[in-house]
Amino acid sequence: MRLAARSRVHDLTEPFVIAREIYTKAVVVEVEIEAGGVIGRGEAAGVDYRGDTPDRMLIQLRDLAERLDHGEHLDRARLQTLLPAGGARNAADCALWDLEAKRSGVSAAVRAGVAPLTPIETFVTLGMDTPAAMGAKAARWSDRYRALKIKLGDEDDMARLEAIRAAAPAARLIADANQGWTLAQLNDRAPRMAELGVELLEQPLPIGRDDELFDYRGAVPLCADESFDDRADLDRIVGRYAFCNIKLDKAGGLTEALALVAAARDRGLRLMVGCMEGTSLGVAPALLVARSCEIIDLDCPMQLVRDVDGGFGYQDGWLRPHGPDLWG
């Protein structure tokens, strides 16, 4: 068995702005694992706010490749003990799933016990901009997309939501503050957000301040994102959040993400699936998680100038499953 890893840079169609960062490119790490002449592929972007950068991922993956070169055995169970949760383990784990599917002739969905993949509707994200600009974009999108995710994070947030709701009165809306608010702002804004029909708010407070949410008085359900990675974090978010956002990069791969679905449900948490920046190769395994989630946020490849060959077909916010040549 051999492993190769490389970074790839994909241009975005326009700058993507959130509360803590402006992105103009998607930098990902692609992994290939070869065994018996068959190659499995995976992709990850890492978790940048945890220092999980492409450079760090490549170092971890090259160490893993050296182990394989020295004859060590690798499967998905063994991988969980060799690498921590994060992008490197995600890319390698998904490559192993792909390899297993190709060698066995049984799809990853079947192997995971997931129902056959069908088209799903994803939320489509509006990056932060002025209220007027975001309202204008929502108006342009209103005939195509029925579900919009709104990036928030400063004093103009309510004006953004008002403009978007006026421009897209029938759209489903969720929002993401990316740690940009205080508890006082959250409690002040939540009643009007509920009136505007916002269904969910992701990560209003900074990491480490989740206990303050015991004093949240609003009706809009909250979703843990940056405060939550994998099963080890579940007990810290129960009672503070109604939802958790499962991302393969945070969880460290599809194997942990699927286990996380069951563990989160056991604790009464509702489920959202999301993604970091990347191509259809990185998002494809998340479709297996999406089958169990109420909120689907898998629009990352739509933001790229050019997706990978064989990538998803996105039409009016509907994600059309890939063919077997892409992944799984």
Average pLDDT along the chain: 96
Residue 310 near residue 325 (C-beta atoms within 8 A): yes
Residue 11: predicted pLDDT = 96
Measured in Å, how far apart are the chain's first and last C-alpha atoms? Answer: 18
Strand partners, 124: 148
Examine the pLDDT at 234 and tell me if it is beyond 90. Answer: yes
Alpha-carbon distances of 122 from 134, 147, 148, 199, rounded to whole Å:
19, 7, 9, 14
Q: How far apart, in whole angstroms, are the C-alpha atoms of residue 44 and residue 3?
A: 15
Structure tokens at 107: 């799809």
pLDDT, one tens digit per residue, over 287-299 is 999 999 999 999 9
pLDDT, one tens digit per residue, over 123-164 is 999 999 999 999 999 999 999 999 999 999 999 999 999 999
Residue 296 corresponds to which amino acid?
A: I
pLDDT, one tens digit per residue, over 54-75 is 999 999 999 999 999 999 999 9
User: Catalytic one among 137, 149, 247, 250?
Assistant: 247
Q: How far apart, in whole angstroms, are the C-alpha atoms of residue 58 and residue 55?
A: 5
Residue 321: predicted pLDDT = 81
Examine the pLDDT at 19 and tell me if it is beyond 90. Answer: no
Q: How far apart, in whole angstroms, are the C-alpha atoms of residue 111 and residue 108?
A: 5
Residue 61 corresponds to which amino acid?
A: L
pLDDT, one tens digit per residue, over 186-231 is 999 999 999 999 999 999 999 999 999 999 999 999 999 999 999 9
Strand partners, 33: 3, 40
From the centroid of its chain, how far is CA 328? Answer: 18
Helix residue spans in 181-291 (DSSP H): 183-195, 234-237, 248-251, 254-266, 280-283, 286-290
Structure tokens at 224: 């843990």
Active site residue 247: yes
Active site residue 250: no
Residue 124 near residue 145 (C-beta atoms within 8 A): yes
* Domains, the chain, ordered by start: 2-105 (3.30.390.10), 120-320 (3.20.20.120)
DSSP label at 302? Answer: G
Which pLDDT band, with edges at 50, 70 and 90, does 117 fall under? confident
Virtual torsion, Cα 13, 18, 20, 24, nearest 10 deg: 0
Examine the pLDDT at 239 and tell me if it is beyond 80. Answer: yes
Examine the pLDDT at 110 and tell me if it is beyond 90. Answer: yes
CB-based burial of residue 70 (10 Å sphere; 0-12 exposed, 13-18 middle, 19+ buried)?
exposed
Examine the pLDDT at 183 and tell me if it is beyond 90. Answer: yes
User: Catalytic one among 102, 137, 149, 151?
Assistant: 151
Cα dihedral 60, 61, 67, 73 sign: positive
Phi, psi of 150 (to 5 degrees): -110, 120
- Return the ∠ at Cα 176 (arms to 173 and 182), rounded to 5°: 125
Alpha-carbon distances of 261 from 78, 79, 161, 270, rounded to whole Å:
21, 20, 31, 9
Residue 297: predicted pLDDT = 98
Examine the pLDDT at 323 and tell me if it is beyond 80. Answer: no
pLDDT, one tens digit per residue, over 22-41 is 999 999 999 999 999 999 99
Residue 29 near residue 61 (C-beta atoms within 8 A): yes
From the centroid of its chain, how far is CA 277? Answer: 8
Instruction: Please state, as a whole number, how many other Cβ atoms lie within 10 Å of the Cβ of residue 190.
Output: 19
- Counted residue by residue, the chain has a size of 328
Average pLDDT over residues 107-118: 92
- Return the ∠ at Cα 137 (arms to 133 and 138), rounded to 5°: 115
CB-based burial of residue 8 (10 Å sphere; 0-12 exposed, 13-18 middle, 19+ buried)?
middle
Q: How far apart, in whole angstroms, are the C-alpha atoms of residue 37 and residue 187?
A: 58
Examine the pLDDT at 20 and tell me if it is beyond 80. Answer: no
Examine the pLDDT at 52 and tell me if it is beyond 90. Answer: yes
Residue 273: predicted pLDDT = 98
